[in-house]
Amino acid sequence: MDIKSLYSIYKKCGGKVTTDTRTLKGGELFFALKGENFDGNEYASKALEAGAGYAVVNASSAAARLAETDSRIIPVEDTLKTLQALARWHRSVTFVDGKPLTVIALTGTNGKTTTKELIREVLSIKYNVTATEGNLNNNIGVPLTLLKINSQTQLAVVEMGASHPGDIRELVEIALPNYGLVTNVGKAHLLGFGSFEGVMKTKGELYDYLRRTADKVFVNVDNPYLCKMARERNLDSDPERNESLVIPYGLEFSQSKVLESSPEHPFLRIRIPAEGGEVAVDTNLVGAYNADNVMAALAVGHYFGVSLQDGAAAVSGYKPANNRSQMTRTERNLLIVDAYNANPTSMDAALNNFAGVQAARKVALLGDMLELGEDSVSEHVKVAEKALASGFSSVCFVGAEFGKALKEMSSSSAMPQTGTECLHFDTSDSLAQYLSEKRIVDAVVLIKGSRGTRMEKTIPML
């Protein structure tokens, strides 16, 4: 089936698409995707029985034979590539006020989802925005986001994740963005990227695309790595239009100031110079490292006509969720929960922020940073050394990688001689069991780790 015919069916289904039979409500276009541990083709009949309007299946699957007797079965060579092609087509033929829809794409090592949520909040003051839900930012999530664009959408904000070279290049060819933003670049997914340079090259694939299309890029000009990436691609000059493709922003660039946190004011606060005084941004985010995310959202909003005052109000009203930069007060402790993801860059930022927190007792619960390849042990050693030398009352490390790091530090006599209690647990379950027996009281607790370590399991014990 050609993409135009499939698009007609997509429209007949009311623009509703799913890849999961558990989310069916009726009338959807079901795509039977196949992965390493699942095969959606096996559920095609179940999807139709549950109310799906049509089911797109692999032509080589047993489900494709049902097409001979059921016109609702649509066999294609590759269901994932077909899903992506349908999303690209939908994005291409969607117009707003007679003009092609504007798509803003963002990627980066840290802060992608928070920045995307902040941009959504700011732009929603003036526009109907369709944005990535949660962190559905891969080669499945991006097309699903694009296919949620409807007749009410005025701007689309698409988050893009990457763990291997070429990932961003693949996603931009689906989303066809007009604007791009890289939050930052750091050490993450080194097992896939191979090196920090590999991270920069892959994140820079967004810049590469926008350089070819001569569209605009929001650049934090306070960040030397992002400036280097933009400079290498000559984004500061477009010979054909004789103008810069860079829309600059940044704390230092705007001469803004991050106020110190305190027990009375634990959240991030920023003061931005403005005509006639300054604009206050009092957020519900934990950590000065979120300041760049805030400035990015305000820069995007300003470019699209949202005033600084309105943008600041939108940011101030945003409350993080899903264990991202959240501060939670329990009956016994104050928790700083940033347990959705972790890599050397974000872990360093979290420890720096935690070190600046004013509290009589501070406890850090740190889980393994995953997918770091051959650099894993050395990067965990750096984090462990920093955590143990930061003056915290106690540090609990979780996971095999921290176990290897602590063993190496002990054997090489590199273990910092401080008064900090140092404990190691194989899993977050074992740490949770320990915390249920040895209760922590009247402390500020940092909970940080890669998603796979499930550090949120410790929260009920605190």
Q: What is the tens place of the pLDDT at every residue in 89-147?
A: 999 999 998 999 999 999 999 999 999 999 999 999 999 999 999 878 999 999 999 99
Structure tokens at 21: 């039979």
156 in a structural domain: yes
Report the C-alpha gap between 433 and 461 in whole angstroms.
Answer: 8
Assign residue 378 the CATH number of its domain.
3.90.190.20
- Tell me which of 317, 336, 357 is where a domain ends: 317
pLDDT the model gives residue 230: 94
Q: Please identify every stretch of the chain with a pLDDT value under 70, giving residue numbers as ranges.
A: 237-242, 323, 414
Report the C-alpha gap between 301 and 360 in whole angstroms.
Answer: 40
Residue pair 332/462 in contact by the 8 Å Cβ criterion: yes
* Residues written for the chain: 462
Shared domain check, 292 and 244: yes
Shared domain check, 313 and 336: no
Q: What is the tens place of the pLDDT at every residue in 282-301?
A: 999 988 899 999 999 999 99
Shared domain check, 271 and 217: yes
Shared domain check, 205 and 141: yes
Shared domain check, 313 and 333: no
227 in a structural domain: yes
* Number of folded domains that form the chain: 3
Q: What is the SS3 assignment for 431? A: helix
167 in a structural domain: yes
Nearest to 395 by CA among 411, 418, 427, 378: 418
Shared domain check, 165 and 135: yes
Distance from CA of residue 221 to its chain's centroid? Answer: 21
19 in a structural domain: yes
Report the C-alpha gap between 42 and 50 in whole angstroms.
Answer: 14
Q: Which domain covers residue 452, as residue numbers?
A: 326-461
pLDDT the model gives residue 242: 62
Give the gyration radius of the chain's Cα atoms: 24
Residue pair 52/58 in contact by the 8 Å Cβ criterion: no
Element (H, E) at 199: helix 196-203
Shared domain check, 288 and 251: yes
- Tell me which of 281, 298, 317 is where a domain ends: 317
Shared domain check, 429 and 335: yes
pLDDT the model gives residue 187: 81
413 in a structural domain: yes
Q: HEC states along 237-273?
A: CECCCCECCEEEECCCCCCCEECCCCCCCCCCEEEEE
pLDDT the model gives residue 100: 92
38 in a structural domain: yes
pLDDT the model gives residue 340: 83
Shared domain check, 377 and 260: no
Residue pair 218/296 in contact by the 8 Å Cβ criterion: yes
Residue pair 203/217 in contact by the 8 Å Cβ criterion: no
Report the C-alpha gap between 108 and 203 in whole angstroms.
Answer: 6
Shared domain check, 230 and 118: yes
Interior CA angle at 359 toward 358 and 364, to 5°? Answer: 105
264 in a structural domain: yes
Nearest to 367 by CA among 404, 337, 342, 333: 342
**CB under 8 Å, gap of 24 or more: what pairs does 297-300 form?**
297/115, 297/118, 297/119, 297/121, 297/122, 298/122, 298/249, 298/272, 299/218, 299/247, 299/248, 299/249, 300/104, 300/119, 300/122, 300/123, 300/179, 300/181, 300/218
33 in a structural domain: yes
Report the C-alpha gap between 296 and 288 in whole angstroms.
Answer: 14
Helices (H) and strands (E) in the chain, counts: 16, 21
Report the C-alpha gap between 223 and 181 in whole angstroms.
Answer: 13
Shared domain check, 361 and 252: no
Nearest to 47 by CA among 69, 68, 65, 63: 63
Burial level of 36, CB count in 10 A (0-12/13-18/19+)? exposed
Bridge partners of 423, per DSSP, are: 396
pLDDT the model gives residue 412: 80
pLDDT the model gives residue 241: 60
Shared domain check, 366 and 298: no
**CB under 8 Å, gap of 24 or more: what pairs does 43-47 form?**
44/73, 46/21, 47/21
Q: How far is CA 11 from CA 72, 122, 321, 387, in A?
A: 14, 30, 33, 54
pLDDT the model gives residue 414: 64
Assign residue 169 the CATH number of its domain.
3.40.1190.10
Assign residue 28 the CATH number of its domain.
3.40.1390.10
pLDDT the model gives residue 244: 87
- Tell me which of 282, 317, 352 is where a domain ends: 317
